[in-house]
Structure 1
Amino acid sequence: MKVPARQALQMYCAHLREQAAGRASNGELDLVNERAGLAKAQRERIEMQNAVTRGELAPVTLIEEVLSKAGGKIAGILEGIPGAVKRRVPALSGDEIKNIGAEIARVRNIVASMSLADLRDSGAESDEDRGAGSDEVIDA
């Protein structure tokens, strides 16, 4: 099919204008999508900077450090419970105090093995987390 030279020149110029405007895809590079992606990344970066400035975000390493220190303090408090119970209720036997210590250790191990996924799925509490299988009695 032959196209008159004038029409071919007009089609070629229109094609060049589309490419220059970024509306036409040139092989693997789609300028429209690239510009949109860049604008999105810039917007997300600015939103993150604003959140840091407002104190809504903190570095992961800082959060890990705080949680580690808090966990250490909590573990120390939990470890002292059996001795405190024995002092307050001297009538308890050694086996009962040992059972209290075992329950505290069980809970401490559950918390120590938690992950971010567990926190996201906190609505689905397992039998172990609720204490199923223990001798606990709950009055309704």
Structure 2
Amino acid sequence: MAITTVSDQNNRPKHTQWGAFGDVVFQTHNAPGQLSDTRRWTWQAQKVINGYPAHQAGGEDERSISLDITLHNRFTNITDGYQTLLSMAQNQVPRALVIGSDTRGRFALKEIRETLTDTTPEGVIVSVRYSLQLVEVRGEKHA
């Protein structure tokens, strides 16, 4: 998935395809700005008389990912990208998360936070950062 398109005389990349979540492809130098992958396992303490507690493995908790992406109007239609994210959240269908050539799993979108990061003096939106909260969904047979 890591594709670079070269466009200027100094051989600098115009954009890089960094990854994708479902139908949303990240194609700017700074998107995603942050990816935080959290996995946690449960250990249940069992009290012991006059001793250190014994522990029993309780399995894996939900895996969650925080993903900050920036959509820039030079590379994509911001409105279409936002509508795609909303549709993915409302349809509640888990989607593949791919970073470079690594498929991280299938995730459902739980939360979207939108922050305008750049506008023209006339109010035209140039770029928007979206903070996405994802949860891994296993065993689902969706598209």
- TM-score, scaled to structure 2: 0.22
Where relative contact order (Cα < 8 A, 6+ residues apart) is larger, the structure is 2
Bigger fraction of residues in helix: 1
- TM-score, scaled to structure 1: 0.23
Largest Rg, 1 or 2: 1
